Structure 1
Amino acid sequence: MLTESQASASLVPVTLLSGQLLGEILLSEGDTIRKAKDSAAKFYSNSLVVPTLRLVFQGHELDGEHEVSSLGLLEPGASLVALLEAPRKVLSASADGTAKLFDVESGECEKTFVPDMDRDEGSINSVSVTEDGKMFLLATAGSMFTFSTTSGRCLRRFSWPEMEEGIQHAVLSHDAKLVLLVCLGVVYLIAGNGPPVRLSGQCNALFAAFSPDARKVVVASKECTAQLHDVRSGLCEKVFRGHFGWVHTARFCPKGESILTACADGVTRLFDAISGECIRDFRRHGGCVRSSSFSPDGDKIVAAVDDCTAKLFDLKSGRCERSSEARPLAATQVFYGPQFSLPTGPGC
């Protein structure tokens, strides 16, 4: 026989701002907002990194010890929206053949992931994490590995004889359904268990990244440009010009309306993704810019430079707000996306 509290319990859906359903939480008469937050946080309990989670109901953020019943959360049709704040974690890939998860505040290594590589593979060239942090992709010169952060186990190994010792970079789409692969200057798209399909006209690529909706791909190249490609057709739709050196990375902003590049000419540039025009230059670098990326809200950018620093810039003003020593980052990728943040340091 059901108790009174069980009879008044309700399954409340929790979604992201994008509309993606995270899951449902069971709330009962007498439960508080704290209980609702603890229940919703379990959706990320097995993720590589656990974000700070805030809940919104009918346009208002929920806080304190209010009971869910007094707010109407037990009413039919009630639903919650989850706002996620990025935790301060860094996932690094190393020449020692491992990937490590570090806490930015303490500097301590929390987890180590070791792919089962051939003896001659050695170094891990790149690492890419899904939006929910539950899966990531490691790439060596000859193979790619997907890992589950729930179990820490390798889920799949990708390998093709024609790509042996030529992989430069690989990235997962946010939903893990697609993989972008840069191999010997050529960009390939991999869907599911299918073979790699070459994007049209690529022969000098250094880096590639998906748009937020995975419908477009931006490619950084040795030709001093970045190019925008359509995923379905593979055709180049736009070329972003203005650099005077190899463009090492190119990424979309969180909303997809602009593209950030990092170049050997020492300049980071922001381009309009539609018109192709340069919106702003970020020039306060002391050497080749190896990588650049957006903050989760799109208001800041971070750049890794060959002078062994990582610099944080305000996107609107172009002002350098912070500079940190970052020797490991100078030769690899900077992650400052949904799961990653920049270590603090003295002002520029």
Structure 2
Amino acid sequence: MEDCYLTFDGHDARLRHAAVSPNGQFVLTASDDSTARLWDACTGSFLQRFSGHTGRVYSVAFSANGSLAVTASDDQTVRIWSVDSGSSFLHRRGVNAAQAWIARHNAGVKTAIFSSCGLIVLSACSDGSASLWDVESGEKQRSLIGHAGPVNSAVFSLDDVLVLTPSDDCSVRLWNAHDGALMRIFQGPEQPVTSAVFSPGGELVLMTSGLKAVLFSASGECVGILLGHEGCVRSGAFSADRNVVATASDDCSVRLWSTEGGECLRTMAGRYKGASSVVFCPFPGFGRCE
């Protein structure tokens, strides 16, 4: 594949997800081998293994200050870890002694992320719900219930006020994170919706479903359809200026698209066995460190 700067090689099974640290120095990966791993973004060197899950790890995310990581797993749990040590983050519940931060669900967990303030974890579950958890206490704050199928991911808006949840029920739901109220339903193609994200300013919503990615205005109007992949589109992301969208697909490619015109700007293919996750690095020169 052209312009491949680094390869992070070491997991013993399929890689599900990747995240870049806020300072651009590290990469976290999630795998079917039941682990998450930390890598040096400049050299590709392996740094840390996060072990404790007993099922596939579907997602990883950094906290805003980069000190913590959160993982979601098929073993029906979400865990928080110290990035430096690779050990479980400890919290206290009432007067109990410190214990590992583990949020237990009733089914496999597809995604978990931190709010930008770092005080809340948002998780998406195969039982059709999303949940908000208090990082300090480990207690569940509220559940977002209404989907008729598994929730495949969940994301906060930039100000942590709104939550998007894409589902196998062919829809994306918009929720108020503070009170759990359902605010809008974005109806996608008649296929499961694999991911949904806000544009950086919140003016647009990108959903991926089947062979396409679809752009919506914040009011729910479809404003663009990105067609060209030959396999299921698993993930999508906006560039920081929202002018470019990246999509990852089972057709073993990542594509870059113009947000305004919808044309495909570039196709990157050749090394993948299906691309399941795509992110933009927040810093220029990523992977080209001195």
Give me the TM-score of the superposition, normalised by structure 2: 0.77
Task: State the match for 1:177 in structure 2.
Answer: 119
Verify the 8 A CA contact 1:187 1:202 in the aligned structure 2: no
Contact preservation (8 Å) 1:336, 1:342: no
Question: Can you give the 5+ residue segments of structure 1 that lack an aligned partner in the other structure?
Answer: 1-47, 52-86, 344-348
Change (3 A) 1:295 1:214: same
User: Could you say which residue in structure 2 is the equivalent of 1:282?
Assistant: 226
The question of whether the paired residues in 2 share the 8 Å contact of 1:294 and 1:337 is answered with no
RMSD over equivalenced CA pairs, Å: 2.8
Indicate the residue corresponding to 1:292 in structure 2. Answer: 236
Paired position in structure 2 for 1:95: 32
User: Equivalents in 1 of 2:70, 2:283: separation in Å?
Assistant: 14
Corresponding residue of 1:303: 247
The 8 Å contact of residues 221 and 246 in structure 1, kept in 2 or not, is answered as yes
Q: CA deviation at 1:246?
A: 0.6
**Matched residue SS, 2:101:** strand
Change over 3 Å in CA distance of 1:329–1:178 after alignment to 2: farther
Structure 2 vs 1, CA of residues 260 and 276 (structure 1 numbering), >3 Å: closer, same or farther? same
Find the aligned partners of 2:234 and 2:266 in 1 and give their Cα distance: 18
1:157 — aligned with what? 101
Q: Give the number of the structure with larger relative contact order, counting CA–CA contacts within 8 Å between residues 6 or more apart.
A: 2
What's the counterpart of residue 21 of structure 1? none
Counterpart residue number, 2:60: 127
Percent identity over the alignment is 29
Shift of 1:109: 3.3
In structure 2, what is the equivalent of residue 143 of structure 1?
A: 77
CA 1:124 to 1:293, structure 2 compared with 1: closer, same or farther past 3 Å?
same
Q: Which of the pair is proportionally richer in strand?
A: 2
Greater per-residue helix proportion? 1
Following superposition, which runs of at least 4 residues in structure 1 exceed 4 angstroms of deviation?
Answer: 102-106, 339-343
For 1:14-58, what per-residue CA distance to the aligned partner results, in whole angstroms no more than 9, with x for missing partners?
xxxxxxxxxxxxxxxxxxxxxxxxxxxxxxxxxx7474xxxxxxx
Question: Paired residue for 1:248?
Answer: 194
The CA distance in 2 between the partners of 1:139 and 1:152, in whole Å, is 15
**Higher Rg of the two aligned structures:** 1
Q: Which residue of 2 aligns with 1:22?
A: none
Unpaired stretches in structure 2, ≥5 consecutive residues: 1-19, 90-99
Counterpart amino acid of residue 334 in structure 1? V
Alpha-carbon spacing, 1:246–1:341, altered in 2? closer, same or farther (3 Å): farther
Residues 50 and 128 of structure 1: CA distance in aligned 2, closer, same or farther (over 3 Å): closer
Match of 1:313 in 2: 257
